């Protein structure tokens, strides 16, 4: 009785499928033997085309329907040819190589999209000996719901990519760098030259002098203008995240909650320009990897041992003296020489000559466009007050003062009083005129008795005084001043630009 009960329970545990197979004459093997040819015949009959290839991806069979679709009059003409010769976008070779099926795929053939399935063929030992492919539909109307969802996802992806690309396009051009003094024109000239090559650029200047503006302008003028411009402030990123932020990380490189990989700024900027602001604050360990990226044009993501090729133009910027940092052991000399291929020094606002008024007016136009406030102008006494201030924060400080003044007054033309309300000590630390040169006794009295100027410093002071006297004698006319000194007008302007001076006419 117990044996019969166990037998009954065992029978109950067996599935209907197993009992069905056991009931068939010949069992499962017979069913498989009948089902496989039937399945192949059904697919061949119902599909729009069938093709089979050998282990070398050469066509061994193709039905007449598929041959006609491919423009082949006789199927025998396709036998022995590589499958890509007759089906350009075929993935049959991949199926043979991997042994993995591609159950559903869209294959482009001319202007048509074909829905296809591909399966590996194996021998009794399980070795891949070829592959077979079926064109399920040559018209996609039966897959409208699936394709509609696919189209929606593709449109969302394209829109997201477009927004990202727009965000990585430069906002500034060289016309955004306002100023027509010799020193400003020299900056623009060098920027145009820099745009012609892919050599690294080092932008030097105090904070707020427009280094990122010039970097974006160079990118916009270069052959890379249609590719991303990616800016990153080195000092703003925690040191522990810098390597992954710049070079990326493979999935699993992090031990925290977020185990996903990340692309890295170099990869994001691939084909375009990477702007590294405040490069002087980069840790020494990371400087070595940056040097390799510049020299080899390849990076190694965090957690990977495989280098990744990149195509990136690097523009670096700093407001510190990198040569001093090299002497202090805080910056690599080899990286400095690699970055310093084409240095461009941006002048401080106080050294830009008579272009302050034009810069202020440009900023007022920008404020009006951004805030919706009325467009303001400047009275002559306001311009004079602006010229007396040293502007240690440069253009950034000037923008702050002008915007504050616009908010504090209803005057359509800002006065000196309006500016003084926005910046109480405006004009309190007067700057000497650009061409004013102290007399030698006065200069000696202003210096400590033991101080001896360096040769370059003393020569600059002499040349500044000489140019100033020549301009004063010619009424500010550069051509006459240059003639009186026996040098060309172009050489005279270059000297003015180097010394931060400006001719009056």
CA–CA distance, 281 with 203 (Å, rounded to integer): 15
pTM of the model: 0.54
How many other C-beta atoms lie within 10 A of the C-beta of residue 261?
18
* 3 state DSSP class of 343: strand
Give the neighbor-by-neighbor strand order of the sheet with 112-122.
Answer: 59-62, 49-54, 128-137, 112-122, 102-109
Mean predicted confidence (pLDDT) in 44-57: 84
Residue 36 has pLDDT above 60, yes or no: no
Q: Of the given ranges (38-42, 166-170, 185-189, 487-491), which has the lowest mean pLDDT?
A: 166-170
Residue 12 has pLDDT above 80, yes or no: no
* 384-435 per-position pLDDT tens digit: 888 888 888 898 889 999 999 999 888 999 999 999 888 877 654 444 444 4
What pLDDT sits at residue 487?
80
Report which of 94, 142, 93 is spatially closest to residue 114, judged by C-alpha positions.
142
Pick the more confident residue, 35 or 83.
Answer: 83
* 322-342 per-position pLDDT tens digit: 999 999 999 999 999 999 999
Residue 168 has pLDDT above 70, yes or no: no
* 287-309 per-position pLDDT tens digit: 999 999 999 999 998 888 888 99
Burial class (CB in 10 A: 0-12, 13-18, 19+), 214: buried
What pLDDT sits at residue 430?
41
Q: Could you tell me if 278 and 233 are in contact, meaning their C-beta atoms sit under 8 angstroms apart?
A: yes
At 228, list the tokens. 């991303």
* 3 state DSSP class of 232: strand
Residue 471 has pLDDT above 90, yes or no: no
* 64-94 per-position pLDDT tens digit: 888 988 889 898 999 999 999 988 888 899 9
Q: Could you tell me if 253 and 300 are in contact, meaning their C-beta atoms sit under 8 angstroms apart?
A: no
CA–CA distance, 251 with 222 (Å, rounded to integer): 35
Percent of the chain with pLDDT over 90: 37
Q: Which pairs count as long-range contacts for 423-427, CB under 8 Å and 24+ apart, including other chains?
A: 423/389, 426/385, 426/386, 426/388, 426/389, 426/401, 427/385, 427/388, 427/389
What band does 484 get if pLDDT is binned at 50, 70 and 90?
confident
Residue 443 has pLDDT above 50, yes or no: no
DSSP secondary structure string, 80-122? TSBHHHHSTT--HHHHHHH---EEEEEEEETTEEEEEEEEEEE
Distances (CA, A) of 396 to 259, 360, 373: 40, 11, 19
> Which residues does residue 333 pair with via DSSP β-bridges, in sequence order?
none
Mean predicted confidence (pLDDT) in 463-483: 79
* 3 state DSSP class of 258: coil
φ and ψ of 351, to 5 deg: -105, 10
* 3 state DSSP class of 431: coil
């Amino acid at each position: 009785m117990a044996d019969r009960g166990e037998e009954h329970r065992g029978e109950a545990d067996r599935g209907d499928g197993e009992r069905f197979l056991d009931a068939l004459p010949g069992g499962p093997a017979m069913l498989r033997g009948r089902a496989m040819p039937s399945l192949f015949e059904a697919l061949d009959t119902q599909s729009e085309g069938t093709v089979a290839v050998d282990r070398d991806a050469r066509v061994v069979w193709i039905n007449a329907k598929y041959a006609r679709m491919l423009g082949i009059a006789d199927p025998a003409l396709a036998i022995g040819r590589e499958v890509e010769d007759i089906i350009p976008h075929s993935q049959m070779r991949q199926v043979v190589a991997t042994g993995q099926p591609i159950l559903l795929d869209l294959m482009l053939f001319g202007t048509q999209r074909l829905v296809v399935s591909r399966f590996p063929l194996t021998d009794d030992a399980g070795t891949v000996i070829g592959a077979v492919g079926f064109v399920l539909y040559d018209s996609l109307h039966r897959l409208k719901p699936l394709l509609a969802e696919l189209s929606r996802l593709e449109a969302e992806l394209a829109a997201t990519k477009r927004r990202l690309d727009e965000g990585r396009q430069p906002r500034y051009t060289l016309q955004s760098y306002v100023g027509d003094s010799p020193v400003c024109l020299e900056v623009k000239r060098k920027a145009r030259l820099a745009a012609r090559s892919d050599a690294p650029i080092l932008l030097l200047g105090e904070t707020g002098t427009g280094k990122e503006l010039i970097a974006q302008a160079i990118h916009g003028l270069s052959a890379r203008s249609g590719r991303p411009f990616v800016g990153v402030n080195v000092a703003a990123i925690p040191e522990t995240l810098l390597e992954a932020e710049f070079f990326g990380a493979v999935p699993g490189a992090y031990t925290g909650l977020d185990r996903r990989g990340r692309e890295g700024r170099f990869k994001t900027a691939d084909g375009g320009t990477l702007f590294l602001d405040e490069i002087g604050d980069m840790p020494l360990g990371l400087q070595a990897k940056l040097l390799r990226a510049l020299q080899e044009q390849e990076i190694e993501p965090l957690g990977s041992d495989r280098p990744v090729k990149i195509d990136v133009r690097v523009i670096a910027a700093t407001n510190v003296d990198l040569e001093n940092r090299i002497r202090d052991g805080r910056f690599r000399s080899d990286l400095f020489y690699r970055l310093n291929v084409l240095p461009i020094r941006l002048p401080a606002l106080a050294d830009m000559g008579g272009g302050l008024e034009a810069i202020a007016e440009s900023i007022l136009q920008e404020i009006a466009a951004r805030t919706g406030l009325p467009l303001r102008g400047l009275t002559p006494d306001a311009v004079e007050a602006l010229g007396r201030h040293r502007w240690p924060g440069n253009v950034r400080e000037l923008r702050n003062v002008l915007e504050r003044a616009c908010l504090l007054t209803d005057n359509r033309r800002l006065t000196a009083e309006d500016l003084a309300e926005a910046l109480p000590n405006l004009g309190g630390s007067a700057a000497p005129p650009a061409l004013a040169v102290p007399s030698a006794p006065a200069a000696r009295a202003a210096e400590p008795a033991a101080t001896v100027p360096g040769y370059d410093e003393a020569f600059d002071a002499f040349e500044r005084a000489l140019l100033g006297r020549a301009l004063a004698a010619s009424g500010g006319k550069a051509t006459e001043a240059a003639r009186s000194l026996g040098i060309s007008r172009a050489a005279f302007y270059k000297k003015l630009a180097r010394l931060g001076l400006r001719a009056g006419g």
